[in-house]
Structure 1
Amino acid sequence: MSSGASNRSAATVDKPVSLKRNSEDIGWEYGVLVDLNDLNVIQCKLCPKVVKAGMYRLKLHIAQKRGQVTPCPNATPEDIAWCKQAIDDSSKAKKARLMEQQEVRDNVVIDVPSDKEDETGLHEIGSASQATVGPMDKVTKPLDASSLGIPFNAINNEEFDQMLEAAGRYGPGAKKPYQREKLLHEEVSDTKEMLKLQENEWAKNGCSIMTDAWTDQKRWSIMNMCVNCSIGTSFLESKEASSESHTGELIFQYVNSCIEKVGAQNVVQVVTNNASNNMAAKDMLYVLKPNIFWSSCATHTINLMLEDMGKMKKFTSIVDQAKALTIFNYAHHKTLSLMRKFTKKRDIIRPGVTRFSGGASIEPKGVPVLQ
């Protein structure tokens, strides 16, 4: 009895602590952390080897790449292939990141004026000599980003990298651009240039006018107009209509004015939801422009169908049980954490407030805007 217990105790001591970092790296299939206090010390699962330089060194050990670490004697050809592939993928990703950073720097173009007068007060901030090595915080003045409304993650922007590159190339005496006039005009010109391709598509294959009316948290009523074609969707204009009644006449006049801006010969259809005021505007538009279709929003139609199906007796109890389960899970953080653990961080689809954008999906990022 004593001998057996002693053997089990010795085995427990010799066995490494079965711990791993929260990572999807394939290397954790072959190693475990020895000590939580040092995340770079990892023991190989295939042999007693302990590496003290992190997961990359362990993958070199499994892949039997000589030079930095001794190869694993127990690694199978499949293990070696997996780790070699992981190392190659990591190397390619690193090279791609370096190339992207270089591309960002290469895109910086500086127009240096003939007179570089020092009117910026840089001598009050730091040394006028150019720093060739070291972080910029050694030669700059601390800035309270929160007081300016700048989010902290703005430092990860490519534009921020380009700004630093331009400042470094220019050197002392750089002048900041005008805040409104020049930059605003350039932005408007760029946006109009982006829209030319879509405008050509409107004339070639036609387009759809889509309405998107909604109310914000302060109860301001906003009516948006968007134009959709085969290339994509662009925002046309918006109207604040909190003081007006959203009658069919109002919607008809607004939609008709947008049709005239786009060109009636280019518009194939108008897409709205199924509200009664939109249906009234539909009848008015048919009288004025009978060649333009008025289509009901497919998203809104399907939503109404599902809502009515959920009210049927055969589905009511199931829907109520699903709601109760969802409410219970999301009201208890431990239960929610357990659910996400076994569902691989997937959430239950929960019903919520749906906003319709004329039956088509409008992506807010990168959508050109024309005012």
Structure 2
Amino acid sequence: MSSSGASGSDSCNVSGDATNEESDLSSYPLWKYVVKGDKMSGGGSNYTWQCKFCKQIKSGSYTRVKAHLMGLAKESRQPKRPPLPSQSLSSETSLSPTSYAKKRKSDNPITKAFDIKARNNLDAEIARMFFTGGLPFNLCRNPNYISSYNYAATNNIPGYKPPGCNKMRTTLLIREKENVEKLLEPIKATWREKGVSIVSDGWSDPQRRPLINLMVACEVGPLFLKVVDCSREVKDKDFIASLLNDAIEEVGDDKFVVQILTDNAHNCKAAGELIEGRYPHIFWTPCIVHTLNLALKNICNAKNVSNNEEVYDECHWITEVHGDALFVKNYVMNHSMSCHAKEDETS
């Protein structure tokens, strides 16, 4: 029989073979809650069927029937949005004895003038974005975070929607990169006149990955070139020399480069000699800070050996002071309450 509860455009032949329906009910019991129709062309186990509860005519397999009856349809899988804190509080206090007084207080001219309710709702929306996205609270101190909301508050942009993921990682990222490169052009223009120094420094990030920074220093100011992840590389003289050579080529002309600065490690010194051999007008300069660091490290770790007795007698107190300071530093860094107290004193 044809469905009489649906319109002509939604009607379908939902009559079927009674014998086949009885055999299907034993294996697929949910078929009894729909009126099963004809099998659809194209193979598979797709049928037209009509729900006995909502009278909707749909098509699909037994899995679609199960999803429809159990409320697992796509439109019902959307998570319910919980109310904001301000909305929840307003609904809870609506029946309280003091709700009338609070309502009068919220209806005063000052509250309406500053639109306190809308401000509270916006604060709750921003806070929920932080909580659900796992964003660090320090992001609130970012000046760009503050300026973005200030711009939105002072400019009327009807129907504005924030950029999506694809636009953020493609169009906006490329546009910002082009803007930064344009802002750096005045600095790069001075390289031809005064010359530059290429500075490299190795360090480790919180994931303990060995990284090498490459920067260009000139009279106007430093400029960051790039950072190289050396996790799968052997940091020998040839590898470091290749990084320095790439940095020289990235500057544009090797005639602009006056010197290269690295630390005093043996591989860095050997890499500097390779660069000096390839570019006779470029000379290698060791880092003075690293030199002083190594010197102070040797002084603070004076050893009492036979050929060092005189120096140890004069400088062993430095080793003791260094050990005490290191103990205090480790204690503070390993106790969160001490760190918070120190932050409160310095802020």
Q: Shift in Å at residue 320 of structure 1?
A: 2.9
TM-score under structure 1 length normalisation: 0.50
* 1:319 equivalenced with 2:318 (yes/no): yes
Kindly indicate whether structure 1 or structure 2 has the higher relative contact order, using CA contacts under 8 Å at least 6 residues apart: 1
Alpha carbons of 1:153 and 1:246: their partners in 2 closer, same or farther (altered >3 Å)? closer
Q: Which runs of 5+ in 2 are unaligned?
A: 1-82, 87-111, 303-310
Alpha carbons of 1:258 and 1:159: their partners in 2 closer, same or farther (altered >3 Å)? closer
What RMSD over aligned residues (CA atoms) do the two structures have, in Å?
Answer: 3.4
Q: Give the partner amino acid of 1:268.
A: V
Q: Give the partner amino acid of 2:202.
A: A
Q: Distance in 2 between matches of 1:274 and 1:150?
A: 40
Alpha carbons of 1:316 and 1:243: their partners in 2 closer, same or farther (altered >3 Å)? same
* 1:145 equivalenced with 2:130 (yes/no): yes
Match of 2:249 in 1: 260
Alpha carbons of 1:173 and 1:213: their partners in 2 closer, same or farther (altered >3 Å)? same
Alpha carbons of 1:267 and 1:320: their partners in 2 closer, same or farther (altered >3 Å)? same
Q: Which shifted more, 289-298 or 189-198?
A: 189-198
Match of 1:290 in 2: 280
Q: Conserved in 1, the CA contact under 8 Å of 2:299 and 2:319?
A: no
Which of the residues 124, 130, 139 maps onto 1:154? Answer: 139
The share of aligned pairs that are identical, in percent, is 27
Match of 1:133 in 2: 114
Q: Distance in 2 between matches of 1:184 and 1:139?
A: 30
* 1:301 equivalenced with 2:291 (yes/no): yes
Match of 1:215 in 2: 204
Q: Distance in 2 between matches of 1:213 and 1:196?
A: 27
Q: Conserved in 1, the CA contact under 8 Å of 2:210 and 2:231?
A: yes
Q: Conserved in 2, the CA contact under 8 Å of 1:309 and 1:315?
A: no
Match of 2:177 in 1: 188
* 1:224 equivalenced with 2:223 (yes/no): no
User: If you compute each CA radius of gyration, which structure gives the higher value, 1 or 2?
Assistant: 2
* 1:273 equivalenced with 2:263 (yes/no): yes
* 1:167 equivalenced with 2:152 (yes/no): yes
Q: Distance in 1 between matches of 2:326 and 2:243?
A: 41
Q: Conserved in 1, the CA contact under 8 Å of 2:299 and 2:318?
A: no
Q: What is the count of residue pairs matched by the alignment?
A: 213
Q: Shift in Å at residue 207 of structure 1?
A: 0.5
Q: Shift in Å at residue 303 of structure 1?
A: 1.3
Q: Distance in 2 between matches of 1:298 and 1:285?
A: 19
**CA displacement, residues 69-105 of structure 1 (integer Å, 9 cap, x when unaligned):** xxxxxxxxxxxxxxxxxxxxxxxxxxxxxxxxxxxxx
Higher helix share: 2
Alpha carbons of 1:196 and 1:278: their partners in 2 closer, same or farther (altered >3 Å)? same
Q: Conserved in 1, the CA contact under 8 Å of 2:199 and 2:215?
A: yes
Q: Distance in 2 between matches of 1:154 and 1:215?
A: 23
Question: Secondary structure at the residue paired with 2:223?
Answer: strand
TM-score under structure 2 length normalisation: 0.53
Q: Give the partner amino acid of 2:322.
A: K
* 1:245 equivalenced with 2:245 (yes/no): no
Q: Conserved in 1, the CA contact under 8 Å of 2:272 and 2:284?
A: yes
Q: Conserved in 2, the CA contact under 8 Å of 1:223 and 1:241?
A: yes
Q: Conserved in 2, the CA contact under 8 Å of 1:222 and 1:238?
A: yes
Q: Which runs of 5+ in 1 are unaligned?
A: 1-123, 347-371
Q: Shift in Å at residue 172 of structure 1?
A: 4.5
